[in-house]
Amino acid sequence: MNRLIKRKALPKITQVQNPGFEDSSFSPWHDVGDVFLSTIQPNFGKQHARYEVPPGRSASLSQLVFLSKPGSTNSYKLIFSVNSQSNSGILQISLLGTLVSGITIPLKDIPKSKYKYYTLTFPSSALRGSSSFVLEFRVNGTGSRTAILNLDTAVVIPV
């Protein structure tokens, strides 16, 4: 006897699409500037996003993220992993269209060889009643050398 599973009873997974950059393109990420898929030193899988941003320029990846219900704390958590060999440049993580202030990290403060996981927890009320937002990872080149950043595994989960 076949049993039917009610799809409405199963929770919708809340995460970024193509979170590990494993597809043959960035889709559905929108890439602008000097950012590309690379197989050099991914955190997980076969590839990751690599930024190589000249001084005075910026590059970004953004994606419209759709959320399901928040977790038991009525919040969500953004989790992502990065490493950088650069002593100049800035990583900015923004949740555009929300009340979340985001994160700014100087590339010199990011580990050089191993990936480090960063998190940003935000309440569902910061979404101002919306069930979506634009997630953006932007690298700004500063100083006199190219800013290099490896980004891998970006997800949003209910907490």
3-7, 16-20, 82-86: which range is least confident on average? Answer: 3-7
Tokens representing residue 102 in the block? 């985001």
Predicted local distance difference test score (pLDDT) of residue 63: 97
> Quick check: 75 pLDDT over 60?
yes
Q: From CA 153, how far away is CA 19, in angstroms rounded? A: 5
- The three-point CA angle 64-74-67 to 5° equals 20
> Quick check: 4 pLDDT over 60?
no
Predicted local distance difference test score (pLDDT) of residue 15: 77
Tokens representing residue 106 in the block? 């100087």
Report pLDDT digits (tens) over 122-140. Answer: 999 999 999 999 999 999 9
Cβ atoms 82, 139 nearer than 8 A:
no
Backbone phi and psi for residue 148, each to the nearest 5 degrees, phi listed first: -120, 130
Q: What is the largest CA-CA distance in the chain?
A: 69
Predicted local distance difference test score (pLDDT) of residue 8: 42
> Quick check: 45 pLDDT over 70?
yes
